[in-house]
Amino acid sequence: MNKPIHFIGLGAPKCATTWITDCLYEHPEISMPKTNKYNELNYFSQRNSSKNSSEYSIRGIEPYLSFFKKCDFTNKKVGEMSTNYLADKYSPYFIKKHFPNVKLIVAVRNPIDRAFSEYLMIKDQAVIEDQDFITAFNNSKSNYHLENYKTRGLYYQNLKPYFELFPKENIHIVLFEEIKTNPKKALENIYSFLNVNKDFISPHLYKKSNIKGKTKFNWLRKGTNKIHAIARGVEKIGLGKTIFFLKRALLLDRLIPILSRANIQRVSVNTTPTTLDNASRELLKKEFSEDIIKLEQLIGKDLGEWK
């Protein structure tokens, strides 16, 4: 298979990326792998601190292309959405090597709100249970991949390699705040960027794709977490190729996300939302202030509400 991928969504997590994926998947002029509807591919991003720990580094490009074998390259725009690519320092170069003309979609959000939203999701789903947000934020700084709240929100740092490698007109930035204020306009802009009918009304347009919820069965959540931890350990001792093959061949990349979603009990819409206290917010502004100023210049958007 030697056909170009038209677009790749890079992230960031908790920035309406699932909503974007749902709306893209439903467009009649867009074709995406069925796997991407259930789970992100994250094929180019590293699994640990090693440069050679990505599925791409271990298996090469052909298994990635095989995800698209049922996509319609003749009549539709073909692509995928994976939120780990943005903060991964090697993904820009892997993507550029194989898809130099690809279009990139990036969703960003006030980095403090993004980090807090991710923390609440992880806490609600019983991944972490006994850390307050600031402690979790500080503890995650040394952990590049798993719940690194700061790294994921350093958008200028993460986007800079992409802007150096790809033409600016091939990168579309959408703010979470724009989606929240006017989802129809934000989606029209994404469709226009991909050169598909911008007037298509997605059934997900006014729906939330990631419904807030708590874990029903902690034992199931901890079990799936344990499977991930074991898999990562096996990858580190040089058996990553076997793990990736089994995960894809046995459809575990679909099954585990389906089980995880089924294990979430939806929280009542009347539940009072958890908010971040002002003292913590002011403390974290210092972590992101310099990056936000540089990001404004890079993408040409006013981010005054983030400061």
Binning pLDDT at 50, 70 and 90, where does residue 193 land?
Answer: very high
Closest to 1 measured CA to CA, from 86, 65, 92: 65
Is the domain covering 7-306 a CATH 3.40.50.300 domain?
Answer: yes
Q: What's the average model confidence in pLDDT over 257-278?
A: 59
What does pTM read for this prediction?
A: 0.82
pLDDT in tens, 237-250: 545 555 555 555 54
pLDDT at 39: 83
Question: Which residues are CB-contacts of 7 (< 8 A; sequence separation ≥ 6)?
Answer: 77, 78, 79, 102, 103, 104, 105, 194
Specify whether the CB–CB gap between 118 and 14 falls below 8 A: yes
Please say if the pLDDT value at position 34 is more than 60.
yes
Specify whether the CB–CB gap between 137 and 284 falls below 8 A: yes
Of 16-25, 46-55, 88-97, 158-167, least confident by mean pLDDT is 46-55
Q: Where are the domains of the chain?
A: 7-306
Binning pLDDT at 50, 70 and 90, where does residue 275 land?
Answer: confident
Residue 134: what are its φ and ψ, rounded to 5°?
-65, -40
